[in-house]
């Protein structure tokens, strides 16, 4: 592989160790590395899931994310605390602001609440080598936020992420360049590779592909026949090639579109799911008005209950005119739903809007204009009330039924109590 033809940046992938548990420990003036602590969704339910375990709890008792509360030993040294998503989001924002002290926001890409990429191409003159830059940032995070982190270093996002997951999380900081890929990454099992799920792992294993090196040496033409475009991407990723941009305007995704959805607490009938569609449409229309945009394309994705042996669907419709009115969005989604043969109970509802334009281009025609003007004024009035008094301060009547989700979601962030 001729790496000279590919971009070579200085990219750090930074992961906050056991983030939720570490934040809770720091908030209690405890050492996040030595404290035995588990964060759970509901401390009153024995079957509640452990959302995060401190490094010491993982090491001493092998308790990890995904374990149940009843599996945590009854040891007086162990702190069991409820999740506080508001606190974690606040800390995550402080983490991003700290990174912003080093580079412009375009050089920061948030992967999750506790993990980000940062491109440090221009910092060597001030801080030294890229490894020294990583050390400086790691120490600053520890000094300012009192949180431990691990950092992977690479010439692109992919390599920095792979070396983070497979080396840096054990030693603190690890670096991998193009010339190190065969030595450091090729021995890794394909199941340990970011982006390769259990299903793809089984497909690759059936072809005799057990390691990343096996994947890199496999004939590209056969991978393309077997997996299409994904096969080509897998091949180049095995060689450490990643052409995704390292400088991204965070506002660009909003300009292109956005989405909102929910995994329901129980199975819903088609009729009950209509309430959820109304609620999500209200949220999306509010967001559109906040950024002075209107959407031309609406997509509805429905996922069925695990008890149903049928696949869900994801279909789109392009509207005659762009809109940021909730009634138009929900009507489009209901139209998609009516065309589908809903044959089972529903567990996931997801709505997205794309093809965004400035709301200045919205045209009110002769017949629907007056009604749409009323709906738009009503929507803006509701936006103001909810902004001031909370999302649950005013809602549709159907949200007060058993199918409604507004009240419960208003009390939570990320599905957990604030």
Dump pLDDT digits (tens) for 2-40.
Answer: 999 999 999 999 999 999 999 999 999 999 999 999 999
Torsion from C-alpha of 50, 53, 56, 60, nearest 10 degrees: 20
Average pLDDT of the chain to the nearest whole number:
88
pLDDT value for 366 = 47
User: Is 136 a residue whose pLDDT tops 90?
Assistant: yes
| Residue 232 bears catalytic tag | no
| Structural domain spans, the chain | 1-180, 186-238, 252-417
Residue 408: its pLDDT value, please? 66
Q: Which residue among the candidates 44, 71, 90, 115 is catalytic per the annotation?
A: 115
pLDDT value of residue 399: 76
Please tell me the CATH code under which domain 186-238 is placed. Answer: 1.10.150.20
Mean pLDDT score, 390-404? 74
Q: What is the pLDDT of residues 137-167, one digit of tens each?
A: 999 999 999 999 999 999 999 999 999 999 9
Task: Name which of 149, 124, 148, 141 is nearest 13 in CA terms.
Answer: 149
Q: Which fold has domain 252-417?
A: Dna Ligase; domain 1 (3.30.1490)
pLDDT confidence tier of residue 417, bands split at 50, 70 and 90: very low
User: Tell me, what's the pLDDT at 47?
Assistant: 86
- Region 365-394: mean pLDDT is 70
First to last CA, the chain: 50
State if pTM tops 0.85. Answer: no
Q: What is the pLDDT of residue 280?
A: 93
76-90, 101-115, 137-151, 339-353: which range is least confident on average?
Answer: 339-353
- The per-residue pLDDT for range 302-330, each reduced to its tens digit, is 988 877 777 788 999 998 888 888 999 99
Q: What is the mean pLDDT of residues 75-98?
A: 94
Q: How many CB atoms lie within 10 A of CB 360?
A: 8
Q: What is the CA radius of gyration of the chain?
A: 24
| The length of the chain, given as a count of residues | 418
Instruction: Decide yes or no: CATH 3.30.70.270 for domain 1-180.
Output: yes
> Over 60: is that where the pLDDT of 364 sits?
no
pLDDT at 254 over 60: no
């Amino acid at each position: 592989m001729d790496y000279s033809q590919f971009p070579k940046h200085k990219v750090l992938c930074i992961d906050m160790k056991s983030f939720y548990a570490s934040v809770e420990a720091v908030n209690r003036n405890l050492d996040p590395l030595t404290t035995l602590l588990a964060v759970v969704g509901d401390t009153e339910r024995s079957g509640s899931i452990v959302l995060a375990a401190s490094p010491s709890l993982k090491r001493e008792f092998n308790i990890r994310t995904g374990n149940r509360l009843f599996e945590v030993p009854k040891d007086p040294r162990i702190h069991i605390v409820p999740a506080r998503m508001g606190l974690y989001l606040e800390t995550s924002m402080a983490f991003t602001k700290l990174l912003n002290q080093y580079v412009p926001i375009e050089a920061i890409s948030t992967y999750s609440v506790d993990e980000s990429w940062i491109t440090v191409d221009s910092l060597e003159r001030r801080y030294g080598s890229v490894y020294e830059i990583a050390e400086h940032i790691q120490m600053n995070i520890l000094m300012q936020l009192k949180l431990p982190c691990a950092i992977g270093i690479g010439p692109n996002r992919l390599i920095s992420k792979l070396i983070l997951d497979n080396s840096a999380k054990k030693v603190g900081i690890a670096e991998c360049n193009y010339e190190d890929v065969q030595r450091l990454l090729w021995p890794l099992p394909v199941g340990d590779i970011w982006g390769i799920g259990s299903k793809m792992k089984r497909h690759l294993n059936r072809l005799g592909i057990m390691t990343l090196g096996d994947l890199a040496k496999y004939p590209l033409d056969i991978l393309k026949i077997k997996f299409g475009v994904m096969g080509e991407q897998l091949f180049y990723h095995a060689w450490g090639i990643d052409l995704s941009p390292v400088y991204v305007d965070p506002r660009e995704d909003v300009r292109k579109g956005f989405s909102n959805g929910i995994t329901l607490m129980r199975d819903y009938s088609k009729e009950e799911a209509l309430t959820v569609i109304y609620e999500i449409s209200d949220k999306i229309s509010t967001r559109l008005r906040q950024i002075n945009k209107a959407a031309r394309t609406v997509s509805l994705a429905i996922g069925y209950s695990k008890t149903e042996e049928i696949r869900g669907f994801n279909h789109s419709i392009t509207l005659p005119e762009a809109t940021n009115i909730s009634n138009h969005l929900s009507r489009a989604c209901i139209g998609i739903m009516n065309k589908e043969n809903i044959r089972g109970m529903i567990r996931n509802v997801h709505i997205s809007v794309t093809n965004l334009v400035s709301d200045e281009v919205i045209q009110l025609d002769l017949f629907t204009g007056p009604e749409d003007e009323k709906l738009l004024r009503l929507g803006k009035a509701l936006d103001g009330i909810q902004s001031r008094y909370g999302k649950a301060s005013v809602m549709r009547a159907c949200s007060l039924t058993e199918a409604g989700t507004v009240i419960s979601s208003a009390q939570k962030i990320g599905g957990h109590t604030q």
